[in-house]
Amino acid sequence: GFESVSDKELNLSRFVLLLDGEEELPKRTLEDICHWADIVIEKGRRKQPKNIIHLLNKFGNFSGVKEFDSSEVANLHYEELPSCWALPIVTLSCIAISLPNIANGKAAQLISNVSEGLFVVNLLENTFYVEEFKLIRNSARVSWSEVTLYRMWQGINLNKMSLKRKNFKNVLQELFRNARRTIVEFKRTSNAM
């Protein structure tokens, strides 16, 4: 079992991985590392992502996301795109923001919630998939930046779209047409290279 040891007696050097030939870290350096780690942990404990926690508690069942990101949904691209957690989150959020009859305050709250969640998703993806899917993760990040700054997605003003279109079906059709144009343009430029 875990032994209770006071901070003074704890030998921190056993928690450091040294490569062959490396010298042990000085005790003072180890203490400084632990001190700063404690500060960061405490800061994280005090400043939890309240918005995303509220969203997750409010809408605990995200089965629609699984359906959206499944292989049953027709792929516009000729190849299977690499899997990335951030991209379907960004895409679904853009769809939700562009829907008619959604109060602007609700859209702003969704953007805040998703931004907090994407921060965590990006940390996980960058940890587990360091080089894999880097391009698609960057695309998701750039797309989300445009949404948060300008409420734009692939050149479409999401605010105007939500005001202009009267029903969900029209919004989804316009987003689909725009996505199809983007894919066709991508294929055309890719084939030209």
Banded model confidence at residue 3, pLDDT cuts 50, 70, 90:
very low
For 66, the token pair is 């699984």
Average pLDDT over residues 155-159: 87
| Residue with more model confidence, 158 or 40 | 158
Alpha-helix runs per DSSP H in 69-151? 86-98, 104-128, 134-150
Banded model confidence at residue 1, pLDDT cuts 50, 70, 90:
very low
DSSP 8-state code for residue 176: H
Average pLDDT over residues 13-37: 78
Q: Which residues touch 159 (CB under 8 Å, ≥6 apart)?
A: 104, 107, 151
Please name the residue that has the structure tokens 């997750």: 56
CA distance 155 to 175: 11
The pLDDT of residue 193: 63
Tell me which range, 2-11, 32-41, 65-74, is most confidently predicted by mean pLDDT.
32-41
Banded model confidence at residue 41, pLDDT cuts 50, 70, 90:
confident
Position 66 pLDDT exceeds 60? no
Q: Do the Cβ atoms of 147 and 94 come closer than 8 Å?
A: yes
Taking the model in full, what pTM does it have?
0.61
Position 163 pLDDT exceeds 60? yes
CA distance 165 to 186: 27
Instruction: Using the Cα atoms of residue 159, residue 160, residue 163 and residue 168 in order, give the sign of their dihedral.
Output: negative
Position 50 pLDDT exceeds 60? yes
